[in-house]
């Protein structure tokens, strides 16, 4: 696991070259499409209250299991159809995206904070501390992270805040590995040595010199990790262990739809499609960002 992080610091691009590569007009069309999709999804989720055509939790048995537009028997006001309680699937999806993506982003952030901190400590301290933290990384690689979160939920109950923290705790190890690897490289560079010669302490060097230099691999890693965290959240909610009803999360919506697959496939497929589209878009962006920023992360 030691060779895991090997993003080349000398590969860091000068600012003007970076700006050119990141300018919208120079992006490949598929990436442009992904960015537009991401912005649209994000703004719909942020403005869910105003964008969603219906109340996501409004039950109306008269309208239950209406198919999406274009199929026999659909109702004009429900574009993507309704579920078994007559709730509008489009509105539930928009709100569900807000919940799922929100939880995933917070979990991602917490994991990144924990992992970066431990990685910095590990790389700067060396010796026993380093070995102990890497041992912990090994444990977290070995134990399936669904199990970690499940034990946590059993202990602390399934509150949304608990879920976010648990997801963060289950998914910190990759940051620790990458940051540690970066620290070991950057630490030896002349400017860090100069700073140390001028009397700078470890914490100062870590925060002032090393952290800014490893920003791009961290960004790439976060983007690449996001889909799997979203999947972790939706898997948990699908199993009924994550977000609790009546709040809609994409995973719990698919879980609800499972019981109606024979007669109303759309109840499960609509939120499932939303999950697939989001993970696909972010995965594409992550791969592209990795190439553009010229970061090498071997997972």
In the complex, the residues that contact another protein under the rule CB under 8 A are 135-136, 138-139, 141-147, 150-156, 227, 231, 234-235, 238-241, 251, 254-255, 257-258, 261-262, 265, 268-269, 272, 275-276, 279-280, 283
With contact defined as beta carbons under 8 Å apart, do 239 and 62 qualify? no
Least Cβ distance, residue 3 to another protein (angstroms): 11
Least Cβ distance, residue 140 to another protein (angstroms): 10
Based on CB atoms, which residue is closest to another protein, 65 or 239?
A: 239
Least Cβ distance, residue 139 to another protein (angstroms): 5
Based on CB atoms, which residue is closest to another protein, 46 or 105?
A: 105
Give the C-alpha separation, 117 to 97, whole Å.
Answer: 29
Least Cβ distance, residue 254 to another protein (angstroms): 6
Based on CB atoms, which residue is closest to another protein, 208 or 258?
A: 258
CA distances from 111 to 163, 164, 212, 272 (A): 12, 10, 18, 25
Based on CB atoms, which residue is closest to another protein, 106 or 278?
A: 278
Give the C-alpha separation, 177 to 104, whole Å.
Answer: 21
Who's near 75: CB < 8 A, 6+ residues apart? 63, 66, 82
At 266, list the tokens. 């759309």
Based on CB atoms, which residue is closest to another protein, 77 or 299?
A: 299
Based on CB atoms, which residue is closest to another protein, 62 or 155?
A: 155
At 282, list the tokens. 């972010």
At 234, list the tokens. 């939706």
Based on CB atoms, which residue is closest to another protein, 26 or 131?
A: 131
At 86, list the tokens. 């007559």
Least Cβ distance, residue 151 to another protein (angstroms): 5
DSSP annotation of 221 reads: H
> Where in the chain does DSSP place strands (E)?
none
Least Cβ distance, residue 208 to another protein (angstroms): 34
Find tokens 């560079």 and name the residue. 189
At 77, list the tokens. 């006001």
At 140, list the tokens. 């977290």
Give the C-alpha separation, 266 to 258, whole Å.
Answer: 10
Least Cβ distance, residue 169 to another protein (angstroms): 11
């Amino acid at each position: 696991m030691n060779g895991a992080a090997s993003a080349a610091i000398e590969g860091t691009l000068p600012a003007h070259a970076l700006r050119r590569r990141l300018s919208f007009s120079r992006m490949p069309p598929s990436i442009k499409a992904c960015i537009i999709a991401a912005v649209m999804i994000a703004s719909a989720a942020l403005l869910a209250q105003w964008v969603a055509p219906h109340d996501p939790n409004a039950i109306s048995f008269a309208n239950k299991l209406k198919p999406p537009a274009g199929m026999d028997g659909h109702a004009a006001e429900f574009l993507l159809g309704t579920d078994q309680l007559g709730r509008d699937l489009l509105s539930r999806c928009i709100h569900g995206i807000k919940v799922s993506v929100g939880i995933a982003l917070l979990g991602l952030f917490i994991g990144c904070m924990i992992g970066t901190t431990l990685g910095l400590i590990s790389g700067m301290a060396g010796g026993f501390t380093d070995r102990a933290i890497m041992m912990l990384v090994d444990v977290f690689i070995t134990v399936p992270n669904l199990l970690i979160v499940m034990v946590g939920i059993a202990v602390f109950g399934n509150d949304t805040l608990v879920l976010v923290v648990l997801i963060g705790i289950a998914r910190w190890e990759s940051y620790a590995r990458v940051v540690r690897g970066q620290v070991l490289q950057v630490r030896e560079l002349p400017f860090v040595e100069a700073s140390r010669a001028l009397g700078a302490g470890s914490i100062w060097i870590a925060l002032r010199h090393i952290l800014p230099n490893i920003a791009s691999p961290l960004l790439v890693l976060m983007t690449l990790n996001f889909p799997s965290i979203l999947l972790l959240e939706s898997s948990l909610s699908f199993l009924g262990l994550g977000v609790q009803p009546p709040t809609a999360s994409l995973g719990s919506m698919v879980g609800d739809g499972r019981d109606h697959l024979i007669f109303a496939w759309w109840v499960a497929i609509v939120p499932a499609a939303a999950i697939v589209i989001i993970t696909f878009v972010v995965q594409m962006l992550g791969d592209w960002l990795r190439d553009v920023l010229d970061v090498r992360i071997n997972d």
